[in-house]
Amino acid sequence: MGSLPSEAKLPWIKTPCIRSPQISKVAGCNVYLKLDNLQPSGSFKSRGIGNYMTRAAAAAGPDSAVHFYCPSGGNAGLACATSALALRLPATIVVPLTTSALIMARLRELGARVHQVGADFAAADRHVRDELLPGDPAGVYVPPFDHPDIWDGAATIVEELRAQMDVPLDGIVCSVGGGGMVNGIMQGIEAAAPAWPAGRKPRVLAVETVGCDSLNASVRAGRHITLPAITSIATTLGASRVSDQTWRWSQAGNMDSAVVSDADAVVACLRFADDACIVVEPACGAALAPAYRGDLRRWLGQGLSDEEWARKNIVLQVCGGRGVTLGILDEYRRKYASESSIELP
């Protein structure tokens, strides 16, 4: 991993990793929660985007005018706005018309300039590149997920887990949108390769929701493809095409792809709110759903006896997300609970 600029205040934090007795019981193994919902922006995006922006500010120099521009459907923009506050620099976030009033309000609370343009992320991205950046010589484009500096920031997840866990790390479960987080996790595992016992490199389960499953569609097709549209409610997973690097990592041998329904992602959020007293959005619920469905073993414990599976230590990456409230979760309960394969208490 590239070195971080030591003189800058990093706009992300080390987050706790705790064992969950409740989810461990359901999953049949030892389940740990990496609580990136506690990042300053409310999601793991603080790591990658914070790292990208910190490096960009350091490269420009202390006396340079820098203005960050980020196209986003939600969490990337919040991470950009939060990081800009930490770096004491301005940020403009461009969101599509589908972005909720909740996210818009939270962006403005952080002091960001907000533009709402276009029907989807691609339109917002074009507005940044074609309309805003050409008119601002101090403008710096902030990609939501597809850049090595972003993957370097996400790789700190693995660095922290190695220091925090006093048991072997057997697997990590994470949600996938464009691939910034899973790229960093895979990179972090590879960087620590000498630390893993022979044949014991942690497996990574990358989870998407139906309608946002561009990685899984590519895996099934055997080629890197683009979805024609995003139809899932987990809009912060709304990348119609994962990064080239994500597609390459999917063929690495220790990464698997899974898909869950919107209903299962939502009910996983509801169960998690009861068990952990933590509210997360459906994009995060996607990573929780395999554990709550009781079929995590299908991907990470095939061929193991009950005793062997019970000894496995699996981390669920609680990526967070600020696009949800208790009221929204209650609406989800009414709409989706009956459709889910996960039971509510």
**What pTM was computed for the model?**
0.91
Contact between 72 and 93 (Cβ < 8 Å): yes
Angstrom distances, CA of residue 337 to CA of 27, 75, 264, 265, 269: 20, 25, 8, 10, 11
Q: Quick one: CA dihedral 103, 105, 327, 118, positive or negative?
A: negative
* Residue 1: band (very low, low, confident or very high) from pLDDT cuts 50, 70, 90: very low
CATH number assigned to the domain covering 17-44+147-337? 3.40.50.1100
Q: What is the reported pLDDT for 7?
A: 46
| Strand residues in the chain grouped as ranges (E) | 17-19, 30-35, 67-71, 91-95, 113-116, 139-141, 171-175, 203-209, 255-260, 313-318
Instruction: Determine the average pLDDT of the residues in 120-139.
Output: 90
CATH number assigned to the domain covering 45-141? 3.40.50.1100
User: Cα-atom radius of gyration of the chain, to the nearest Å?
Assistant: 19
Q: What is the reported pLDDT for 47?
A: 95
Q: What is the reported pLDDT for 238?
A: 67
The answer, yes or no, to whether residue 2 has pLDDT greater than 50, is no
Instruction: Determine the average pLDDT of the residues in 233-259.
Output: 86
Q: What is the reported pLDDT for 268?
A: 96
pLDDT digits (tens, 9 = 90+) for 58-76: 888 877 789 999 998 788 9
Instruction: Determine the average pLDDT of the residues in 295-301.
Output: 93
Least confident stretch, 150-159, 188-197, 226-235, 321-330: 226-235
Q: What is the reported pLDDT for 237?
A: 64
The answer, yes or no, to whether residue 158 has pLDDT greater than 60, is yes
* Residue 155: band (very low, low, confident or very high) from pLDDT cuts 50, 70, 90: very high
With H, G, I as helix, E, B as strand and everything else as coil, classify residue 233: coil
Q: What is the mean pLDDT of the chain?
A: 90
Instruction: Determine the average pLDDT of the residues in 79-83.
Output: 95
Where exactly does CATH 3.40.50.1100 map onto the chain? Answer: 17-44+147-337, 45-141
* Residue 100: band (very low, low, confident or very high) from pLDDT cuts 50, 70, 90: confident
Separation between Cα atoms, residue 209 and residue 344, nearest integer Å: 19
Where is mean pLDDT largest: 9-13, 249-253, 307-311?
A: 307-311
pLDDT digits (tens, 9 = 90+) for 167-193: 999 999 999 988 999 999 999 999 988
One-letter amino acid at 307 equals E
The strands making up 113-116's β-sheet, listed across from edge to edge, are 113-116, 91-95, 67-71, 139-141
- The DSSP letter of residue 68 is E
The answer, yes or no, to whether residue 114 has pLDDT greater than 50, is yes
Q: What is the reported pLDDT for 97?
A: 86
